[in-house]
Structure 1
């Protein structure tokens, strides 16, 4: 078997240890809890590219939705340590977008949010006082002590969220920007190339239907929307984007099976391993709920319809809540094509630009900000070049894949 075949078949499960060719590197551990967290952290890995002083390893942390993480690691071709071994090893830097298990690791932890816009509140059963997911004490402290040495957030508004929900973490919170914001902004200039790669004709209109996970998600009531997509939008292409936690929680076969009768050449389910950002860039309309994808849609010129919004589960001070107060709400009784036309007619770019500006207060500067932070923690001088935003890879064509 060739080395390329080995990398495609799965991550290398070994630690070179004393046999490593570059044993004196600073050791960085990337902790992946789920596909979403892994893709989030993957965006910052280019800051270590070509630096022979740094060695990056990966581990899969315990999490309810870590099914599918192996595929992320296989794509990266990285060295994967078993969780138990990672917990026994000291690292010079630990990167994580989740909180579960971080207190078990040894080394300075840098935490990032795993979504945009501090939208969702923690579940009622998780804590007596609901906090913004990822920003409360249960996410940043252990036994009364702050665990990370740094919490890298996207916007100045996040400082207020930390001050409210976990004030003891405010001194270690640093605003660095948002990687997805920067990469989408760069990709908007290549919209035509992304549409062509997806297989869209120039005159073909694409509707992106996006759902987060959980009881308040659009997927929870997708059975009422899918038949309408089939019958009411004959002149449109539709891409259905389902949160990776749904795939991880129920399995790929089950998700495709549930949607089988609705899918075909005109309505395509985007696989969780595919990057959602080129599809968002290519879309002419977005129908979404309170997930991050809908919020990122404010960066594009696509009119947005809100399919479902559980206000009691949403931070009312978030840009996501502002979007729900701005965009038209999907009606169950009016024709979809009429509602899309209405959303286009009522669309005011300036209103959505104001919302998009709340995603990142360091536009175009994420790689610079995160590199400064990480190399400070590593106690290394930064490489002598300006970091660049990575262009998004051109997507694979929108092709129907049935249950297997």
Structure 2
């Protein structure tokens, strides 16, 4: 039986997670064979282990240019111009939030010509999340505009579909009735909130009274890849000893975010997705020089309260809960996607159109997220959490 060959190009763990969301739309189709490859990337050291856990067929990158495929999927541009296949590219996070301000690569990440037309190659399609992205794309790289397809955002749709399971996720994390979960979120880079964790972590450990609060850390996989898991865990060792949950880079962070009562974040995608959950937000970092000024991250930075170094942390968390109004963030949430709930349908249609075969005869509805693993237990001698 001849099968169509689909190649998933996994540069980093973050890119790989986004592609797995998309590849799930091809499940159960015996007409297709999915294989993976891992091009060289500065933050790609953890990719071989990530792919090994999948049990996937992994093609050596140096062999890929000598092969042909019926479809290739990529969430990043490096090396994809060498692939012999119709290529669909997609963003690996929410919208186009970050900008590069120096050097030859200056511009909004994801909207630069080298991102959209890698090596000068025209892909088969460029998937975007929102109609407003078309305006930005036309300004940044007008020759690529005709390739753009508004498909929506898979993370938005999975989080939204899973919100009714919040209580189940909290039970899975081991939270007691009435406990407040504070989730500290960081993107990567010198100006991320991780760059301020040396000041924030002692406050999370020392100022949040037990057993009323639990804390979890969501650190971008690029931080783990860039510094190495040993180093990151060394920096966070005191947190683990004190019962703070450290979500590993391979884990699904979305259910943890849904379970949060408060989110301390920055200008990254995870913080923006946090606006979907109803949890009040406190920004530990919002560097103007790294934020696309026309993005929803810029609007969030202008609206959300900022973490103060001088006021007690508990008072600040109580304050954001008092002043937070979920409806006031509706405009920010609406900028994540202009196709809410329709990513699976739109993306599957696009892929099968490129493949040249008919879609399966069933609705590709977003599935609820799996339950998270329990948070780390309390440190020895401090007692288990109780109501």
| Correspondence for 1:326 among 303, 316, 324 | 303
Q: How many residues align?
A: 377
1:211 and 2:189 correspond: no
1:397 and 2:377 correspond: no
| Correspondence for 1:68 among 22, 29, 46 | 46
Q: How far apart in 1 are the matches of 2:378 and 2:67?
A: 42
Aligned pairs for 1:95-134 (under 5 A) are 95-127=73-105, 130-134=106-110
Q: How far apart in 2 are the matches of 1:396 and 1:93?
A: 35
Q: How far apart in 2 are the matches of 1:53 and 1:123?
A: 45
1:255 and 2:257 correspond: no
Task: Give the Å deviation of 1:100.
Answer: 0.3
* Corresponding residue of 2:214: 237
Task: Give the Å deviation of 1:266.
Answer: 3.4
* Corresponding residue of 2:384: none
* Corresponding residue of 1:337: 314
Q: How far apart in 2 are the matches of 1:207 and 1:257?
A: 22
| Correspondence for 1:264 among 229, 237, 241 | 241
Aligned pairs for 1:51-90 (under 5 A) are 51-90=29-68
Task: Give the Å deviation of 1:400.
Answer: 6.2
Task: Give the Å deviation of 1:244.
Answer: 0.3
Task: Give the Å deviation of 1:87.
Answer: 1.6
Measured against aligned partners, the alpha-carbon deviations of 1:34-80 in whole angstroms (never above 9, x if no partner) come to: 00000001001121111111111000111101121123212322111
Task: Give the Å deviation of 1:336.
Answer: 0.5
* Corresponding residue of 1:50: 28
Structure 1 residues 342-351 or 27-36, which shifts more?
342-351
Mark the CA change 1:363 to 1:280 in structure 2 (over 3 Å): closer, same or farther: same
Q: How far apart in 2 are the matches of 1:362 and 1:142?
A: 26
**Kept after mapping to 2: 8 A contact 1:102/1:147:** no
3-state SS of the aligned residue for 2:166?
Answer: helix
* Corresponding residue of 1:8: none
* Corresponding residue of 1:283: 260
Measured against aligned partners, the alpha-carbon deviations of 1:268-310 in whole angstroms (never above 9, x if no partner) come to: 2111111100100000000001110100010011000010111
Mark the CA change 1:137 to 1:401 in structure 2 (over 3 Å): closer, same or farther: farther
Aligned pairs for 1:12-23 (under 5 A) are 22=1
* Corresponding residue of 2:382: none
> Which sections of structure 1, spanning at least 5 residues, go unmatched?
1-21
Task: Give the Å deviation of 1:123.
Answer: 4.9
**Kept after mapping to 1: 8 A contact 2:242/2:378:** no
Q: How far apart in 2 are the matches of 1:213 and 1:46?
A: 27
* Corresponding residue of 1:192: 167
**Kept after mapping to 2: 8 A contact 1:151/1:174:** yes
| Correspondence for 1:316 among 272, 290, 293 | 293
**Kept after mapping to 1: 8 A contact 2:79/2:118:** no
1:36 and 2:14 correspond: yes
Task: Give the Å deviation of 1:357.
Answer: 1.1
Q: How far apart in 2 are the matches of 1:292 and 1:337?
A: 25
Task: Give the Å deviation of 1:220.
Answer: 1.0
TM-score (norm 2): 0.95
> Which sections of structure 2, spanning at least 5 residues, go unmatched?
380-387
* Corresponding residue of 1:136: 112
Q: How far apart in 1 are the matches of 2:326 and 2:165?
A: 19
Measured against aligned partners, the alpha-carbon deviations of 1:189-215 in whole angstroms (never above 9, x if no partner) come to: 100111111111121100000011111
3-state SS of the aligned residue for 1:237?
Answer: strand
| Correspondence for 1:202 among 163, 166, 177 | 177
Mark the CA change 1:46 to 1:334 in structure 2 (over 3 Å): closer, same or farther: same
| Correspondence for 1:388 among 357, 365, 368 | 365
Mark the CA change 1:126 to 1:207 in structure 2 (over 3 Å): closer, same or farther: farther
Task: Give the Å deviation of 1:186.
Answer: 0.9
3-state SS of the aligned residue for 1:299?
Answer: coil
| Correspondence for 2:123 among 144, 148, 159 | 148
